[in-house]
């Protein structure tokens, strides 16, 4: 029985009788191919023959009817309460090969193929008994007509007898198909079609992006076969699959290239394949191209030959070396006219960076970083990079920051190109971090791949963690591990504090569900848990464990349990890593540790932390957790009497009590915010900590000061801490001169300014911000000098001072803008965002048009990104409206930059409602641009609505999306609605005390 207790029949009629071969097949595969009543041996016609009619009295008929109805009623009750007896993925009975963990992917509706037949496979996951061994892909993309012709030959292994196979295909027209076992002689029929092993039928089911191929004769277990499919398609204009991109040369000529992006489920749009990460195989590639282009693949070219003419153009065919075993989402190929620069690692791996010819000078830093990082990772992991080359390529149109395709990593231009004379320290760091992230994936993700997307964090969490270690190694002066808490821990905590979060290991089946988990939970929380693990296991134990994990599972797949098992072994079983970490990966959220001190006794209690106030009143559902929302917490702390001594107490899903010295006034828990939890203290301890900060803030490290600020402001947002406590704590910032604490504070202050924009304390709050920012801005000055962190801080502080209208800063910034605009006097890279913002915010149409022209003419991607961002800070709604309309024109704003523009306008108080109206008015156009399957639509919803803080805003948003299918954006929509309600509640609760405190303080 299929799900729901209703048997699904695949009906085939053949002269009114059962097809004997179909019965035999159904018995072997478990999927019934039945013929109505004919399986009982009765011909349908006999039911209607006159001699088959029974005659009885009316009374007897009533009795029989009553009995029959009673029996039917009893049967219906049994079915209703018994439920489905199996979770069959076929349109028929449950086959023996189906694993229990696959049943959740079973579709409830009967799948109907494109020819209106029932599609026999009823599961979103592919069957495991057919596994690919090797692909040979021949493909010819025509960059003029956008037509694609291709052929894929798949060698596959069958592990059990079967008459069918299922694989993925989306938006492909299959023109020819054949299956061979390597022994049977293939023949041509009267129509010229080649036939090998006879194929009975091929069905396509677009909702699951699957094709079903049924054989006449059984495919035998433990045997290898070959499937050949020829297909046609078109180069996509979306930023996924095999798609068209373009760039404009210095001379204004538009050049085209074809490139790929297959993660998570887009390989199937380029060629038919087994598009799940567990189906690793080797790949051979042949690409047809014209003589003016080059082609790139995961592996090096081994041969180029003339391939004749096509539409009057002489073609070449590039044949590439066969790859190692890898998942389909890591396959990549590009046809372009780029140039490259190269270097060699210590172990003779060729590293190259490809870019448009005039951008090649900006590729030098990425090449140097990649070469050093490859050497570092090979030494750190203890495993050699297994491919002969590593290419990095800049793609003009790219939906994400970068993609780790094995041996051919694709990047946004802003993620790989760096000009030391034009690029800011922030953009410089971004290039280093993204290069390090993608190279970490060559081991974590590519060499060892998660078994299924529910463990995406094994890929992204590791890369997000290792990128900071990697950059810290090659750029030791950048203090990357201080910045880790700012860029990873804090964003992860923010999202995971919502009731609409999700566990780090989360069940996903549908492609739209898979897209939705590419979020801060998989990336930032995953990285933060590994950072916490590193702290309590020790770097040597973690490193040796990771080396073992990679060696055990290389060229294969793993799940979270495999990682914990290896780490437990390397901790000599003294720490049972799985027991501890399952409480962090198997349930959503994280704990709030509440600390109270009486004399020398400290009590620490744990409860799940939620931003959402009064959950009972908001009808929030809390998914049950087998751990009852308790965690194994490595509670670290130091005290005022021994600030250099870090101690640890384990909270084993419990509360704890421990003793400290009698003379201790305060303790600071979660040292350097290395644990993924928040901490609050009793009032007396908070007061002691605040007094200590004001007296000498350097007794706390920069990450500790950042964590105190982050905890205090977030606890205030949740209603756990009074707003006045957070404000009293923030006063120490008058003396703060370190980047990480200030960046943390600015993040919260900017959020407050957005919530308060229509509230009574708004003007007083801006005045308070000026009061805090003024001394720091003055001390930093306008010389673009100092350490890397000082440059980052100067840019952030001065930009905030401009937006808050700090008079001295605005005056200098406007002066520099005028000098730049009228006299072409160069502005240092780290001051550009500050100066441009001042010119546009306090200027008019003239200043805006000048920057818009600079954006269109600049050949430096990082400069273009800065200009795109500052163009949204204009104060004139008319200008902002014109800017939003530009996002609808591909030639004005690239699709990859649409979200940046809309988000910038939405964060501007003058543009907040304009951005929301734009999203509503052009929802269909934006949906057509990005598609429902990508996470972009969800991020657009979040960007536009995150600042709303009024009841009517919430009502408008919820009403607009009430009956709308937003695909992968559904979780982002839920989170956005929850965030708006949080904002409303926060303003309502804090408006009066905030107004009172600011009035009192500023009057002093």
- For 612-641, the pLDDT digits (tens) are 865 444 445 578 899 999 999 999 999 999
- Closest by CA position to 379, among listed 345, 351, 404: 345
Tens digits of residue pLDDT in 497-509: 999 899 998 888 8
Res 46: pLDDT: 31
pLDDT at 614: 56
Confidence of residue 3 (pLDDT cuts 50, 70, 90): very low
pLDDT tens-digit series, residues 681-709: 999 999 999 999 999 999 999 999 999 99
pLDDT, greater one: 275 or 194: 275
Contact 276, 127 (CB under 8 A): no
Catalytic residue among 204, 238, 438, 847: 438
Stretch 270-275: mean pLDDT: 98
pLDDT of residue 964: 87
For 588, the token pair is: 């959503």
868: number of CA atoms within 13 Å, CB side?
25
Rounded CA-CA distance 675/288 in Å is: 52
Q: The tokens of 556 are what? A: 């294969």
Q: What is the pLDDT of residues 845-883, one digit of tens each?
A: 999 999 999 999 999 999 999 999 999 999 999 999 999
Residues 6+ apart with CB under 8 A from 175: 230, 231, 232
Reported as a pLDDT band with limits 50, 70 and 90, residue 16 is very low
Measured CA distances, 415 to 409, 424, 434, 473, 797 (Å): 11, 13, 6, 19, 24
Report residue 572's pLDDT band, with 50, 70 and 90 as the boundaries.
confident
Compute the average pLDDT of residues 272-276: 98
How many Cβ atoms are within 10 Å of 290's Cβ, its own excluded?
A: 15
Compute the average pLDDT of residues 588-607: 96
What is the model's pLDDT at position 24? 34
Question: pLDDT-derived band of residue 526, with 50, 70 and 90 as boundaries?
Answer: very high
24 catalytically annotated: no
At residue 598, φ and ψ (nearest 5 deg) are -130, 110
List phi, psi (to 5°) of 817: -65, -45
Stated pTM of the model: 0.88
pLDDT of residue 186: 75
DSSP string, 90-158: BSSSPPTT--GGGGGGB-SSPPB-TTSSBPSB-BSSPPSSEEEEEEEEEEEE-TTT-EEEEEEEEEEEE
- The DSSP symbol for 911 reads T
pLDDT for position 460: 95
| 572 φ, ψ (degrees, to nearest 5) | 55, 30
The Cα–Cα gap between 452 and 275 comes to 11
Q: What is the pLDDT of residue 51?
A: 36
Domains and CATH numbers, the chain: 20-105 (no CATH), 124-337 (2.60.40.1730), 339-428 (3.30.2010.30), 448-585 (1.10.390.10)
Distance CA 71, CA 610 (A): 52
pLDDT tops 80 at residue 77 = no
């Amino acid at each position: 029985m299929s799900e729901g207790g209703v048997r699904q029949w695949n009906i085939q009629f053949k002269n009114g009788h059962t097809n004997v071969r179909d019965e035999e097949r159904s018995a072997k595969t478990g999927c019934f191919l039945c013929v109505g009543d004919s399986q009982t041996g009765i011909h349908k016609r006999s039911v209607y023959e006159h001699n088959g009619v029974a005659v009885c009295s009316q009374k007897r008929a009533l009795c029989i009817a009553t009995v029959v109805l009673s029996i039917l009623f009893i049967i219906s009750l049994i079915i209703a309460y018994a439920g489905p007896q199996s979770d069959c993925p076929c349109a028929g009975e449950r086959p023996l090969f189906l694993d229990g963990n696959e049943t959740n992917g079973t579709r409830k509706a009967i799948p109907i193929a494109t020819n209106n037949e029932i599609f026999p496979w009823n599961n979103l996951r592919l069957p495991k008994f057919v596994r690919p061994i090797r692909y040979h892909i021949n493909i010819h993309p025509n960059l003029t007509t956008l037509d694609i012709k291709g052929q894929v030959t798949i060698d596959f292994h069958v592990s059990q007898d079967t008459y069918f196979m299922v694989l993925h295909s989306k938006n492909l027209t299959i023109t020819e198909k054949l299956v061979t076992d390597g022994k049977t002689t293939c023949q041509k029929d009267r129509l010229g079609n080649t036939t090998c092993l006879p194929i009975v039928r091929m069905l396509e089911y677009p909702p699951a992006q699957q094709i079903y191929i049924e054989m006449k004769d059984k495919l035998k277990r433990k045997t290898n076969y070959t499937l050949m499919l020829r297909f046609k398609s078109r180069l996509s204009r979306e930023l996924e699959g095999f798609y068209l991109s373009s760039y404009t040369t210095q001379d204004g000529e538009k050049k085209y290239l074809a490139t790929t992006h297959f993660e998570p489920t887009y390989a199937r749009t380029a060629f038919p394949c087994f598009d799940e990460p567990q189906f690793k195989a080797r790949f051979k590639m042949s690409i047809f191209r014209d003589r003016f282009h080059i082609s790139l693949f995961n592996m090096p070219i081994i041969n180029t030959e003339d391939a004749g003419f096509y539409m009057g153009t002489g073609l070449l065919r590039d044949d590439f070396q066969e790859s190692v075993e890898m998942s389909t989402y890591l396959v990549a190929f590009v046809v372009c006219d780029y140039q490259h620069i190269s270097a060699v690692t210590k172990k003779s791996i060729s590293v190259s960076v490809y870019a448009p010819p005039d951008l090649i000078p900006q590729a030098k830093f990425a090449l140097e970083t990649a070469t050093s990082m490859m050497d570092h990772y090979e030494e750190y992991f203890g495993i050699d990079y297994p491919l002969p080359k590593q290419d990095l390529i800049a793609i003009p149109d790219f939906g994400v920051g970068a993609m780790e395709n094995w041996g051919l990593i694709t990047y946004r231009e802003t993620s790989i190109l760096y000009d030391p004379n034009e690029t800011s320290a922030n953009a410089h760091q971004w290039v280093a971090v993204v290069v390090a992230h993608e190279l970490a994936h060559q081991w974590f993700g590519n060499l060892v791949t998660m078994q299924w997307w529910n463990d995406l964090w094994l890929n992204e969490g590791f890369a997000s963690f290792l990128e900071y270690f990697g950059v810290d190694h090659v750029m030791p002066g950048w203090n990357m591990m201080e910045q880790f808490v700012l860029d990873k821990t804090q964003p992860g905590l923010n999202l995971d504090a919502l009731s609409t979060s999700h566990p780090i290991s989360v069940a996903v089946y549908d492609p739209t569900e898979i897209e939705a988990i590419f979020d801060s939970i998989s990336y930032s929380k995953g990285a933060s848990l590994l950072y916490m693990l590193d702290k309590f296991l020790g770097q040597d134990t973690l490193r040796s464990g990771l080396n073992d994990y990679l060696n055990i599972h290389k060229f294969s797949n793993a799940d979270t349990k495999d990682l914990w098992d290896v780490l437990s072994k390397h901790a000599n079983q003294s720490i049972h890593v799985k027991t501890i970490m399952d409480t962090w990966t198997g349930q959503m959220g994280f704990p709030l540790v509440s600390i109270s001190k009486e004399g020398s006794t400290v009590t620490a209690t744990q409860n799940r932390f939620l931003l959402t106030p009064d959950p009972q009143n908001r009808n929030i559902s809390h998914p049950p957790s087998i751990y009852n929302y308790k965690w194994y917490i490595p509670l670290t702390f130091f005290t005022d009497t021994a600030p250099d001594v870090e101690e640890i107490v384990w909270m084993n899903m419990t509360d704890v009590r421990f003793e400290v010295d009698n003379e201790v006034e305060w303790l600071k828990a979660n040292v350097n915010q290395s644990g993924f939890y928040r901490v609050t203290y009793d009032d007396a301890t908070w007061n002691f900590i605040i007094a200590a900060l004001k007296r000498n803030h350097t007794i706390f490290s920069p990450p500790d000061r950042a964590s105190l600020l982050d905890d205090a402001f977030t606890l205030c947002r949740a209603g756990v801490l009074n707003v006045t406590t957070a404000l009293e704590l923030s006063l120490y910032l008058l003396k703060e001169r370190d980047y990480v604490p200030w960046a943390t504070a600015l993040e919260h202050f900017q959020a407050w300014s957005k919530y308060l924009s229509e509230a009574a304390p708004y003007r007083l709050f801006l005045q308070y911000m000026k009061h805090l920012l003024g001394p720091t801005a003055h001390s930093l000055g306008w010389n673009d000098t100092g350490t890397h962190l000082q440059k980052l801080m100067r840019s952030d502080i001065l930009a905030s001072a401009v937006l808050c209208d700090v008079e001295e800063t605005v005056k200098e910034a406007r002066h520099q803008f005028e000098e730049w605009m009228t006299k072409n006097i160069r502005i240092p890279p780290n001051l550009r965002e500050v100066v441009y913002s001042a010119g546009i915010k306090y200027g008019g149409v003239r200043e805006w048009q000048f920057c818009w022209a600079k954006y269109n003419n600049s050949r430096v991607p990082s400069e273009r990104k800065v200009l795109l961002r500052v163009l949204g800070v204009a104060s004139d709604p008319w200008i902002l409206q014109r800017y939003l309309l530009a996002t609808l024109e591909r030639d004005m704003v690239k699709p990859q930059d649409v979200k940046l523009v809309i988000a910038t306008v939405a964060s501007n108080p003058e543009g907040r409602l304009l951005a929301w109206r734009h999203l509503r008015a052009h929802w269909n156009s934006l949906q057509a641009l990005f598609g429902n399957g990508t996470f972009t639509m969800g991020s657009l919803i979040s960007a536009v609505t995150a600042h709303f803080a009024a009841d009517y805003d919430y009502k408008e948003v919820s009403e607009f999306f009430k009956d709308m299918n937003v695909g992968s954006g559904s979780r982002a929509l839920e989170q956005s609605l929850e965030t708006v309600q949080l904002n409303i509640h926060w303003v309502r609760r804090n408006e009066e005390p905030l107004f009172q405190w600011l009035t009192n303080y500023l009057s002093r």
